[in-house]
Amino acid sequence: MLAQALKKSLVVAALGLSAVLPTALAQQSANANTLVSRRLTEYLLPVATETHEFARVPNTNFVLLSQMSDSALIKIELDPATEAPIAWQSFPMGRNRSSQLHGVWPSTLYPGLMWLTLQAENQLLLVDPGRTLASKPVVVRTLDIPVPGNGPHCVFEIGNRVWAGLKVASPQTGQYYVFSADVSQLNATIPRSGSNTTVAARDPKLYPCLNSPVFIKEEPATGLIYVTQDADSSIMQINVTSGATAQLPIPPEVGNNAVGMITAGGALSGVWFTLAGNATGGTGTFGHIGADGQMKFFSLKQPMLGTNAALLHIADASTVAGGPALWLLSTSLLSSNSPDALIRVTFDANLTAVADEEYVSMLTQNAMVHRVLPLDTTVLVSELHTFTLAQLAYVHTVAGQWLPAEAVTNTTVYTQAG
């Protein structure tokens, strides 16, 4: 190969300088391989001890992120071409720095508005984030959580209802609850322009649950609602029509601490949840509940980053080209025995087991990574402890086609073992 190239360049050298340059370049590109890369960049946010939830404001270049430790809402502007964060502005939310801004979720019923929670003020806010980076978010509706509920943490809108996991034991009953109310009539009752109107929740429900509720999702085939409960390591099922609830405890032998949960469609249909482990670390385990209401567990196999992964959060990573896939986020939040890592998994043909596992170790270990959010072409991760937003970008390739160094297939594992 080299000899052939040398011979060719000697031939062209004989033809004179003018011919050498273009021909030599053409020779080089014929032998070159495009360099594919994964770029992980950290974007520094205002200093805070707890950087929590974030969501993109649909159809805009803004991401809203909550810093719970000082109740600040950070509005982040993304470059429309690269999705890279380029600027931020911070806005205090609630009465004071102790209001505990936490949940952030886009409203579908009220396009352009976002749901937020003030955990310490026991309120849900429906907020207009404003059109520009500098414009102050305006609270257009406030919903008080009814007594004895206490401490809305994460917030979600599902169909006509808003849902919030009440993370703090009730001062009246000592009990934890999941809150839900019909919010489909907020336009009709008061014009949207009337800013910060406290509205009474219609058809409010408080479902008693275990310690303590985090993510709340709907299983698409049955319409049943599922709720992760972290400390008591169980998943609650709610039939909204009958009001019946049931508990599905996580078997301790697979792991513990159910936190992240998503609803997925297509081949992944159902709800998927992650187990964040405990002070001794995680077990690299996540689970699925489909139309049959049965929990099925999946395990990561790679000993370096996978088998001790403490999986806090999850997102759909499916693509048309790559098929069904998930992003899993391992965190050092509960144990420094577990890595901060972003992991992409694919499945075998019948979704019975994990096929490929791709690992992206986060740049700052012990950052206590918190949430993962895929954008159109990149993936954002919030780092709780280091007030950072990390962004993963694939260059000259797409997620899931990263071979062979980082995507360890089942075949590779057994070949190496043999």
Ligand X SMILES: *[C@@H]1O[C@H](CO)[C@@H](O)[C@H](O)[C@H]1NC(C)=O
Q: Which is nearer to ligand X, 174 or 252 (CB)?
A: 252
Q: How far is the CB of 389 from ligand X (least distance, A)?
A: 25
Residue 187's nearest CA partner among 247, 263, 111, 246 is 111
Name the DSSP letter for residue 283.
-
Q: How far is the CB of 320 from ligand X (least distance, A)?
A: 21
Residue 33, token pair as written in the block: 């391989």
Q: Which is nearer to ligand X, 79 or 348 (CB)?
A: 348
Q: Which of residues 220-249 bind ligand X (CB under 6 A)?
A: 222, 224, 239, 241-242
Q: Which is nearer to ligand X, 37 or 280 (CB)?
A: 280
Asked whether position 283 contacts ligand X by CB under 6 A, the answer is yes
Q: Would you call 111 exposed, middle or buried from its count of C-beta atoms within 10 A (0-12, 13-18, 19+)? A: exposed
**Helix residue ranges, H only, 119-254:** 186-189
Of 10-18, 89-97, 377-385, 394-402, the window that binds ligand X (rule: CB under 6 A) is 89-97
Query: Edge-to-edge strands of the sheet including 37-44?
Result: 37-44, 388-395, 378-383, 369-374
Q: Which is nearer to ligand X, 189 or 401 (CB)?
A: 189
Q: Out of 16, 171, 252, 303, which residue is the one contacting ligand X (CB under 6 A)?
A: 252
How many chain residues bind ligand X (CB under 6 A)?
Answer: 33
- Per-residue mark of binding to ligand X, 332-371 (x: CB under 6 A): ----------------xxx-xx-x----------------
Name the DSSP letter for residue 336.
T
Q: Which is nearer to ligand X, 224 or 315 (CB)?
A: 224
3-state helix, strand and coil shares in percent for the chain, rounded to the nearest 5: 10, 45, 45
Q: Out of 20, 109, 363, 403, which residue is the one contacting ligand X (CB under 6 A)?
A: 109
Q: Out of 51, 69, 278, 332, which residue is the one contacting ligand X (CB under 6 A)?
A: 278
* 104 CB-near residues (< 8 Å, 6+ apart): 53, 54, 55, 64, 65, 66, 73, 114, 115, 116, 155
Asked whether position 289 contacts ligand X by CB under 6 A, the answer is no
Q: How far is the CB of 114 from ligand X (least distance, A)?
A: 14
Amino acid identity of 41? T
Instruction: Give the Cα separation of 192 and 204 in Å (integer).
Output: 21
Q: How far is the CB of 371 from ligand X (least distance, A)?
A: 23
Is the Cα dihedral 132, 136, 141, 142 positive or negative?
Answer: positive
How many C-beta neighbours within 10 Å does residue 60 have?
A: 14
Q: How far is the CB of 13 from ligand X (least distance, A)?
A: 54
Torsion of CA 136, 43, 216, 317, to 10 degrees: 130
Asked whether position 294 contacts ligand X by CB under 6 A, the answer is no
Residue 162, token pair as written in the block: 């808003």
Interface residue list for ligand X (CB under 6 A): 95-98, 109-111, 139, 142, 184, 187, 192, 196, 198, 222, 224, 239, 241-242, 252, 255-256, 278, 280, 283, 348-350, 352-353, 355, 410, 414
